[in-house]
Amino acid sequence: MKTRIIYFTLLLISINCFGQNSSLLDYNYEIKLEVKNNKVFIQDKDKIDSFRLSNSGTLLLASDTAALISALHFEAGHLIFLQQQYTPSETYSAKKVFDAIIKKAHIAEGNRIIFGNAASSDISNNPTDELVPIATIENAQASPFGMWTWIGLLAGLFGGTLLGFLLAKNKKTTVPVLEKHTDSKNENELLAQTKAELASIKNSLQQQLDFDKQYFEQSFETIVKPLDNALEAKDAATIIPLMIKAMAHYAAITRFKLEKKQSFDLANMQILMKRATYQKSDFPIISGNSSPDNIPNKLKTLIELLQNAKAKDVKDTIVSGYKIENI
């Protein structure tokens, strides 16, 4: 009886939330999901992640499901609530839930849905209208880092679920809600669901490992080895540009780890791995003809070092949002 009352209450809440804005209990964020150009964008303040969609408007990669959960800061309870809101007649699947949400965003005003706490102030009346502008980068992908937090959370969820299963089986718990999970069919469905989620995490983690391998191999070949050779040859005209390039990539990795990425960080990583082209990247150029007033103070010392070393540019690298060419 209590379960029916809970489901009925959730149904009433879902009817009120089915529009452009979705209110979630115990959710301390205001995050926007927007569909645009065969991609779904997730905006959390100034941080934006994007995921590719298929021609039918669903997630192209099933492995992106776990990354979406992380980007939206969803917990298990939020997903269950959204499943009852968007796909109540279907068997639970995180991907099916997201596909249904994306489908709803397609027909919502502005092609967007804003998720927030039911108690937060005025998110339904004052939704943000636009995503924060970001530079367009060829083949831009979601951040390859920042996955460890949700891996730990889901691993903890799996461990807690398994422990609850064992305790219920041995009749060591007296909590009525947990005792209902002793039904073998429900237990098998829950374990199958958890295994599927962990398989998705494994795929996402493998993608991260593949990315890391390619990125650091390219870094070694294009920065580390050439810099070592230039130091051995005492070639200042080669050393200084490579040191600036190394600095730019170290800053990019650090910001990715702290989830404070900037558009030129992603551009540098994509260019290094030949997934984007330096010449086509849309960043302002600083050259020998640039007025000193148009050169940021933080770049003036670097430019002076390049001139003293008789170096002309920093090749294939965006330095603090600028291309340095023909100094």
The pLDDT value recorded for residue 148 is 47
Question: Residue 312 contacts by C-beta under 8 Å, 6 or more apart in sequence?
Answer: 306, 325, 326, 327
Structure tokens at 182: 């002793």
Model confidence at 137: pLDDT above 80: no
Over residues 61-88, mean pLDDT: 87
The pLDDT value recorded for residue 316 is 93
Q: Confidence band (pLDDT; 50, 70, 90) for 170? A: low
The pLDDT value recorded for residue 211 is 79
Q: Confidence band (pLDDT; 50, 70, 90) for 48? A: very high
Q: Of 84, 47, 46, 83, nearest to 65 (Cα)?
A: 83
The pLDDT value recorded for residue 91 is 83
Q: Are 20 and 112 in contact (CB under 8 A)?
A: yes
DSSP H or E run through 123: none
Pick the range with the lowest mean pLDDT from 45-49, 58-62, 186-190. Answer: 186-190
Query: Per-residue DSSP letters for 153-197?
Result: HHHHHHHHHHHHHHHHHTT----HHHHGGGSHHHHHHHHHHHHHH
Strand 112-117 to strand 21-24: parallel, antiparallel, or no bridges (unpaired)? parallel
Model confidence at 222: pLDDT above 60: yes
Over residues 172-198, mean pLDDT: 68
Q: Confidence band (pLDDT; 50, 70, 90) for 21? A: low
